């Protein structure tokens, strides 16, 4: 299996391919038993949210990496893709502001990914 750090780089790159932005990596090791990392990004529209989600799923499945679970596809406001050690959150901008996940996990290490 791919190491977490490699997979994180891969996923953030796939998000950037589809113009996802405001990408943050939240390191939850030692803070949460749910997962080791959250990758959070924002999107401006349903088609963009769908494109980001489908692109991640399609590209990772080429490496035999499939999500354990994907939630939120019916409303496109907040997609959650569970890859066990890494959970990807694709938010519509307004929904992300509303839930403010970064504030909930403020005691975690949060890394911002610069857009290329």
**Structural element, H or E, at residue 54:** helix 46-61
Which backbone phi and psi does 40 adopt, to 5 degrees? -120, 140
- CA dist., res. 75 & res. 50, Å (int): 10
pLDDT of residue 1: 54
- Give the mean pLDDT per block of 10 residues along the chain (116 residues): 88 98 96 94 97 98 96 96 97 96 93 84
């Amino acid at each position: 299996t791919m190491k977490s750090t490699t997979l994180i780089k891969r996923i953030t790159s796939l998000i950037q391919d589809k113009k996802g932005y405001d990408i943050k990596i939240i390191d939850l090791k030692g803070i949460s038993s749910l997962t080791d990392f959250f990758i959070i990004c924002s999107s401006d529209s349903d088609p963009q949210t769908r494109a980001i989600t489908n692109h991640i799923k399609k590209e990772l499945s080429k490496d035999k990496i499939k999500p354990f679970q994907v939630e939120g596809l019916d409303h496109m406001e907040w997609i959650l893709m569970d890859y066990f050690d890494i959970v990807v959150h694709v938010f519509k901008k307004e929904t992300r502001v509303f839930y403010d996940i970064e504030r909930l996990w403020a005691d975690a290490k949060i890394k911002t990914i610069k857009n290329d």
